[in-house]
Amino acid sequence: MRGAGVARISISIPPNLLKELDDILKKVGYDRSKAIQIAIRNFLTEYRWAHESSEVAGALILLYDHRSRGVEESLTDIQHEHGDIITSTMHVHLDEDNCLEIIAVKGKTKSIKELAERMMKEKGVKQLKLAVVSK
Ligand code: NI
């Protein structure tokens, strides 16, 4: 029996889908309940990201050419302007041309989207990826 903090549910899924799930669970070493909880959390995060202005946390991963004129100053200015949602920044000098910046963010989806869009517009920014989670 599970503890009082757990609800038990019964779900229906196609047998092939269940087999695919079980095959992977054998490899990763956890059970169906944990897999379903992870899937539900991912679903909720995606829904909130797409439809609501709710609180999320995550990382913005940025690849840019530091030789592009003014890009470092612009990215720093943008980060100062959005200091309310940025919790920390890690900078990696990848090679002669490229810098990788990992920016930890926490705040409303709307504000994080605005920050990402603002950075992507900067000349010299080659790639931007965003990963978020929600409680
Ligand atoms: Ni660098």
pLDDT score for 94: 97
Any idea what DSSP says for residue 54?
-
3 state SS of 55: strand
Asked whether residue 87 carries a pLDDT value surpassing 90, the answer given is: yes
C-alpha 124 – ligand 1 centre gap (Å): 12
Average pLDDT score over residue span 24-49: 92
Average pLDDT score over residue span 62-74: 95
55: Cβ contacts below 8 Å, ≥ 6 apart: 106, 107, 108, 134, 135
C-alpha distances (whole Å) from 35 to each of 26, 39, 41 are: 12, 6, 10
Domain range list for the chain: 15-51, 55-133
Asked whether residue 4 carries a pLDDT value surpassing 80, the answer given is: no
| Model confidence band, residue 54 (pLDDT cutoffs 50, 70, 90) | confident
| pLDDT tens per residue across span 88-128 | 999 999 999 999 999 999 999 999 999 999 999 999 999 99
C-alpha 94 – ligand 1 centre gap (Å): 7
C-alpha 125 – ligand 1 centre gap (Å): 12
What percentage of the chain carries pLDDT values higher than 70?
A: 98
What's at 101, amino acid-wise?
E
Query: Which residue is it, tokens 């095959």?
Result: 23
C-alpha 92 – ligand 1 centre gap (Å): 6
Asked whether residue 52 carries a pLDDT value surpassing 80, the answer given is: no
What percentage of the chain carries pLDDT values higher than 90?
A: 87
Domain 55-133 architecture:
2-Layer Sandwich (3.30)
Which residues are placed with Cβ below 5 angstroms of ligand 1, an ion?
Answer: 93, 99
C-alpha 113 – ligand 1 centre gap (Å): 24
Q: Where are the alpha helices (DSSP H) in 14-135?
A: 15-28, 32-51, 71-81, 109-120
HSE of 101 in the Cβ direction (CA atoms, 13 Å)?
A: 23
Whole-angstrom Cα distance, residue 85 to residue 106?
5
| Model confidence band, residue 46 (pLDDT cutoffs 50, 70, 90) | confident
Average pLDDT score over residue span 18-40: 95
pLDDT score for 34: 94
